[in-house]
Structure 1
Amino acid sequence: MRPEFIGHTSNREGSDIVPASGPVIDKTYIRNHVQAAEAAGIDRLLIGQFAQWPDNNQIAAYVFSQTDRIGALLAHRPGLMAPTLGARQLATLDQFSEGRLWVHIITGGSDTDQARDGDFEDHDTRYARTDEYLQVLRKVWESDQPFDHEGRFYRFKGAYSQVKPFQKPRIPISFGGSSDAAIAVAGKHADIYALWGEPLDGARETIGKVRTAAIANGRAADDIRFTLAFRTVVAETEDAAWAKAADILEKVKSQVARSAGGNGEKLPSNVGSVRLRQAASRGKVLDKRLWTEVAEASGAGGNSTALVGTPEQVADAILDYYDAGVSNFLVRGFYPTEDTVTYGRDVVPLVKAGIAERQARKVAAE
């Protein structure tokens, strides 16, 4: 599979520093945003899932209806529905989009947000449930005969779906979660593992753990590809980029001061957030240009580190992650449409050129 460059879309305009505006479901904003992303060369858009947001399956359907090529990375939370129903919903979306869907499994980093949908299981129990959920999900997609299932969390008799994914053998499964329990499940089921924008040493450590988990499940180390989720602050000069970053930081701090932060948790307790805060404690800028101050100021409730600089500098930093084993690069914008377009138009071609050079050198050396 080729590297993918991924953006983000939501139900309306808004971000850490851009106040939400427009109707809760702003079709005009979504249409303009996703079409701009597609025109800028973005391959796929993350569509998140939260207990208070509109249904992201239907947002994905609308995105597909308004575009010709761009794919979706659709967040999906096990435990909120039966895996048989989830399998049919996702396969139906994949058929209508003619194979433009990846599913991104989110087991639930926030106890507060899980509780809003009636899920009060503890962290490790949720991951055990996700393991069984994915077993059933995959079997529904791949089985040509009805089957029975009896496990710890789910019981079915005669489970079967007429609709199968457009993609064969199935929809690619992306997986999020940095705890040991999460990595164990990822090693068993994930086609793509997503990590937040940690420093290079942390990214290498996580990639190594996931590959070890894959091997423990009888898979090859390279069966799993990796996605890095980060932010970008890009300008024509490095000084202009850092001035822009300083302005963003002040706006983030103002927003944090006005709200409780995140999903009701001052300091999110999930392992991914903890790792970003630990990275931030090591310095404001790590490696070449990984900026950590927003993660520190916000509590790192999501992908909150950023690469700051000119397009060439940011592309060079991204290529360091490619060399570490990352093949997909996901950017969520502080200014959603502007940052997505800048990333696709100005940064992505440079990264693609760098990857092509590396691949050509590898072929020549063989």
Structure 2
Amino acid sequence: MSVEFIGYVSAREQTEIVGPYGPEVDPAYIKSTALLHERGGFDRVLVAFHSHSPDSLLVAQHAALATSKLGVLVAHRPGFAAPTLAARQFATLDALTGGRVAIHVITGGNDIELQADGDHLTKAQRYARAAEYIRIVRREWQSGPAFDHDGTFYRLRGAHAAIRPRQEGSVPVYFGGASDEAIAVTAELADGYALWGEPLEQAAELVNRVRNAASLHGRNLRFSISFRPILAATEEEAWARAAAIEATLLERQQREQQAQQSGDIALDSAGTRPTDTTLPTNEGSRRLQAIAARGARHDERLWTGVAQATGGRWNSTSLVGTPEQVAQSLLQYYRLGIHTFLIRGFDPVPDTVLFGRELIPRVRALIAQEDALAHHAA
């Protein structure tokens, strides 16, 4: 498998330490950051989904139509749109973009957040629904004869789509989650498995679990891992930047807490310190919480300072060092069988430029050299 790089495009400029700037949906920002990723050598960009955020499918459409080659990985929660409708929506976008669409199906990491959209299912029920949902979506993409479906969550009569994905077979489907339920759905139905950045030993264990589960279905998956690289000209400067990011985040959290106590509007939501009701309960976040509790540094340059401050609510672990050092670290994950790297920065615009100029070419060169040596040895 060839190496793939995925970036991140949001509706406006905002991270744990930056912004929010601009309107809630900033078309110019979406377009400019999508173009930066395309020119920087990224293969795709992720567009996230939250119960309070702008619609991921529409943001992804704007990003894709502003570019000519960049793919989009659209986060999508099953259950809020009929699977037959979602199948046609994604097939339509795939046709409009010339086959540049992939889906990251997410079941949600916090029950209370899901209830904001009217979802009151248990975790086990959500995974069961996701499996049924993906099966229906895939069948609709086949555009064969009209079909009926009688399942636990959906009853269909005469389902049929006149639009098929541009990509041969179907739109690629990614899935994540470290629970047994998540791995079972991934093994049977997904094309790719996404995990958050963990130390090499833990990442290898998770990859092997998923790989073994998929082999029972005769399937071979693509693996993706997410990091927030922190780069600088020297290792010392990179660690100093990590410390500055953590200090800025903690200061913002303190100001936000004071604003909430005084009844003012919260300053920031991206890096808010979690409470008992907002702390994610999914297994992937629990793994990050446990890793961060053991210490801030792991392996040579894995850093969990932001994961600890935010409760591991999303991809929040970093690889810290010079571009060459971080590239070498990513090579170690490649050797585990991980061929997709989702990388995004804490300062989104300059970090995207920096990754495209200094990191991505180094990683591609190291992997090409490694693959050539392995081919020669074989």
TM bracket (short chain) = over 0.9
Asked if structure 2 preserves the Cα contact closer than 8 Å seen for 1:18 and 1:334, the reply is yes
Report deviation, 1:262: 5.6
Q: Secondary structure at the match of 2:294?
A: coil
Q: TM-score, normalised on structure 2?
A: 0.93
Aligned to 1:115: 115
In 2: Cα distance, 1:120 partner to 1:272 partner:
21
Q: State the Cα deviation string for residues 179-230 of structure 1 (Å, max 9, x = none).
A: 11101100011111000001111111111111121122x223xx10100011
Find the counterpart in structure 2 of residue 346 from structure 1: 358
> Do the aligned partners of 2:7 and 2:344 also contact (CA within 8 Å) in 1?
yes
Residue number among 284, 290, 298 corresponding to 1:286 in the alignment = 298
Residue 285 of structure 1 deviates from its aligned partner by 1.1
Instruction: Give a deviation string over 1:94-125, Cα, whole Å, max 9, x none.
Output: 00001111100001112122111100101010
Structure 2 residues not aligned, in runs of 5+: 258-271
Residue pair 1:242, 1:308 contacting (<8 A) in 2 also: yes
Counterparts of 2:238 and 2:193, CA distance in 1? 30
Distance 1:291 1:335 in 2: 17
AA aligned to 1:169 is: G
Determine the structure 2 residue equivalent to 1:160.
160
Alignment match of 1:238 (pick from 235, 239, 251): 235
The match for 1:99 is: 99
Counterpart of 2:118 in 1: which secondary structure? coil
Counterpart for residue 81 of structure 2:
81
Which letter maps to 2:66? Q
User: Structure 1 residues 264 and 53 mapped into 2: Cα distance closer, same or farther (>3 Å)?
Assistant: farther
Q: 1:263 to 1:160 in 2, by over 3 A?
A: farther
Tell whether the 8 Å contact from 1:98 to 1:166 is kept in structure 2 after alignment: yes
The Cα of 1:263 is off from its aligned counterpart by 9.4
Aligned equivalent of 1:254, options 228, 232, 251 = 251
Matches within 5 A, 1:1-366: 1-216=1-216, 218-220=217-219, 223-257=220-254, 258-259=256-257, 261=273, 265-366=277-378
How far apart are 1:256 and its partner, in Å? 2.9
Q: Which amino acid aligns with 2:70?
A: I
TM-score between both structures, scaled by the size of structure 1: 0.96
CA distance in 2, matches of 1:191, 1:263: 34
Report how many residues are paired.
Answer: 363
- Secondary structure, in 3 states, of the residue corresponding to 2:46? strand
Code of the residue aligned with 1:15 in structure 2: it is: T
Give the Cα–Cα distance (whole angstroms) in 2 for the partners of residues 297 and 52 of structure 1.
21
Conserved? CA contact 1:261–1:298, under 8 Å: yes
- CA deviations on 1:300-358 (whole Å, 9 max, x unpaired) are 11111100000000000001100011100001220011112211221111111111111
- Give distance in 2, aligned partners of 1:173 and 1:263: 32
Distance 1:83 1:155 in 2: 11
C-alpha distance in 2, partners of 1:283/1:261? 18
CA distance in 2, matches of 1:176, 1:252: 27
Answer yes or no: is the 8 Å Cα contact 2:127–2:185 preserved in 1: yes
